């Protein structure tokens, strides 16, 4: 939900903050997929080695930190790097949540379908929630979302502490 809310509004953020056109916005957001593409196998090995108890909170903390920094309207290059780091935070938590969901049932197809349903419903819900508070200002809305994710990251330490 968090990433769906933020990512849905990043194009507007780049348009408003830096006056980019559609092509430039697309190029600025290109960094969002790069960490998963380049580091996917390494992230999987880290999760296997250190477990979800460390990787998921790290991903959530990284996501919170990047959005809180994006809300500060840093320069364009820094914002592009932060978009890539936001993606890394997502990659550290998202695939591991998929693994958690598939442990719920021996029917992997049903569990994966349920996961996809909640994933995309969360994307839409996150975007909707951010749109409901956007009138406080984009930066303030990013700060609210970043603060909420920071609380979720802290909670995840306790939720996943018994994971091996």
| pLDDT tens string 48-79 | 788 778 888 999 999 999 999 999 989 999 99
Report residue 106's pLDDT band, with 50, 70 and 90 as the boundaries: low
* Of residues 132, 120, 9, the one with CA closest to residue 67: 9
Q: How far apart are CA 154 and CA 158, in angstroms?
A: 7
Helices then strands, each counted (H, E), the chain: 7, 0
Indicate if the pLDDT at residue 97 is higher than 60.
no
Mean pLDDT across 141-154: 93
Q: Is 19 helix (H, G, I), strand (E, B) or coil?
A: coil
Report residue 84's pLDDT band, with 50, 70 and 90 as the boundaries: very high
pTM metric for this prediction: 0.83
């Amino acid at each position: 939900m968090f990433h769906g809310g933020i990512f849905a509004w990043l194009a507007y953020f780049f348009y408003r903050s830096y006056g980019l056109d559609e092509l430039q916005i697309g190029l600025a957001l290109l960094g969002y997929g790069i960490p998963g593409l380049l580091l996917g196998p390494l992230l999987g090995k880290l999760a296997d080695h250190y477990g979800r108890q460390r990787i998921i909170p790290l991903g959530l903390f990284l996501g919170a930190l990047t959005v809180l920094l994006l809300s500060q309207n840093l320069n364009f290059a820094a914002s592009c790097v932060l978009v890539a780091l936001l993606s890394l935070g997502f990659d550290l938590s998202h695939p591991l949540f998929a693994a958690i969901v598939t442990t719920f049932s021996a029917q992997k197809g049903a569990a994966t379908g349920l996961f996809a349903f909640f994933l995309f419903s969360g994307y839409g819900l996150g975007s909707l929630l951010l749109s409901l508070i956007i009138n406080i200002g984009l930066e303030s809305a990013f700060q609210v979302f970043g603060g909420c994710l920071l609380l979720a990251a802290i909670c995840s330490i306790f939720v996943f502490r018994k994971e091996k």
